[in-house]
């Protein structure tokens, strides 16, 4: 897809793009005591059978990366979607500064067999009309995983997901740049230009955000306008449908002096 309008430097992109793996070091130590959820005993992390090698998971990995998640996903909907596999921990990936949900998460599965079910059977299947991506993601040496809490948010401590239109943060004075999220993978420069053109908001630049390692589009980006008036007009489209998805919009203050 044509996602090529980009007037920002690589250094600026690296500063704004969230590095999920670096935030692993911020988590607290987890206990190895068994817990229960939905009346089912969760295998403790040090159980010898938890990481047993199995078909589809020859390394016995139980930590997964889930991508392209819908912005309305929450713990209950994700757990239901992954059944019959069971997860024990969720780490929602959000922007470190703004707390905006990136549409991705790390999860710890009950055991290696459940992890294999997700990677083999759930990868590419639709959750709320979005084909999710599921890959094995073993933690690095020295990382503390899983987190102490069952549900943990990387970045600001807040819940990911939920339903309805997200309220925008207070508008910074002179702001000319917006964060846009929950985008279709079919979005491109032409599509986003026409979308904001519906309210006479002329775009100056667009930057699409991709995963650092894979290059996969994250479903989010930043749009800059020629003046703050155009930016305000564009913001009125928060929650409006674009290519079948309610677009998420918020102010971005990174270019405000």
Q: What are the pLDDT digits (tens) for 24-42? A: 433 332 333 333 334 444 4
Is residue 213 scored above 90 in pLDDT? no
What is the gyration radius of the CA atoms in the chain, in angstroms?
19
Q: Is 255 exposed, middle or buried (0-12, 13-18, 19+ CB in 10 A)?
A: middle
Residue closest to 250 by CA, chosen among 158, 179, 175: 179
pTM of the model: 0.48
Q: Per-residue pLDDT averaged across 69-93, rounded?
A: 88
CA distances for 101 relative to 74, 131, 226, 230, 247, angstroms: 11, 17, 27, 25, 13
**Is the predicted pLDDT of residue 75 greater than 70, yes or no?**
yes
> 109 pairs with which residues across the strands?
87
- Top pLDDT among 250 and 167 is at 250
The strand pairing partners of 207, in sequence order, are 222
Contact 207, 221 (CB under 8 A): yes
pLDDT of residue 47: 64
| Cβ count near 219 (within 10 Å) | 26
Model pLDDT for residues 114-156, shown as the tens digit of each residue: 999 999 999 999 998 889 999 999 988 777 787 766 655 554 3
| Model confidence pLDDT, tens digit, residues 103-112 | 888 999 999 9
With pLDDT > 70 as the criterion, what percentage of the chain qualifies? 71
- What pLDDT shows up at residue 40? 40
């Amino acid at each position: 897809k044509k996602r090529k309008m980009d007037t920002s430097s690589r250094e600026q992109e690296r500063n704004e793009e969230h590095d999920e793996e670096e935030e692993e070091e911020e988590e607290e130590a987890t206990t190895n005591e068994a817990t229960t959820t939905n009346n089912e005993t969760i295998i403790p992390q040090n159980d010898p059978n938890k990481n047993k090698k199995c078909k589809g998971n020859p390394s016995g990995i139980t930590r997964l990366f889930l991508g392209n998640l819908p912005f309305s996903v929450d713990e209950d909907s994700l757990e239901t979607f992954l059944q019959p596999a069971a997860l024990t921990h969720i780490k929602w990936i959000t922007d470190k500064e703004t707390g905006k949900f990136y549409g991705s998460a790390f999860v710890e599965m009950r055991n290696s067999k459940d992890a294999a079910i997700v990677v083999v059977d759930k990868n590419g299947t639709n959750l709320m009309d979005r084909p999710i991506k599921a890959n094995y993601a073993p933690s690095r040496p020295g990382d503390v995983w899983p987190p102490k809490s069952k549900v943990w948010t990387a970045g600001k401590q807040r819940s990911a997901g939920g339903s309805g239109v997200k309220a925008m943060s207070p508008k910074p004075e002179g702001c000319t740049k917006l964060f846009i999220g929950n985008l279709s993978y079919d979005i491109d420069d032409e599509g986003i230009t026409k979308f904001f053109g519906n309210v006479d908001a002329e775009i100056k630049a667009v930057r699409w955000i991709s995963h650092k390692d894979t290059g996969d589009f994250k479903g989010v980006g930043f749009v800059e306008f020629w003046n703050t008036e155009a930016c305000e007009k564009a913001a009125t489209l928060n929650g409006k449908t674009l290519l079948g998805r309610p677009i998420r919009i918020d102010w971005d203050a990174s270019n405000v002096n």
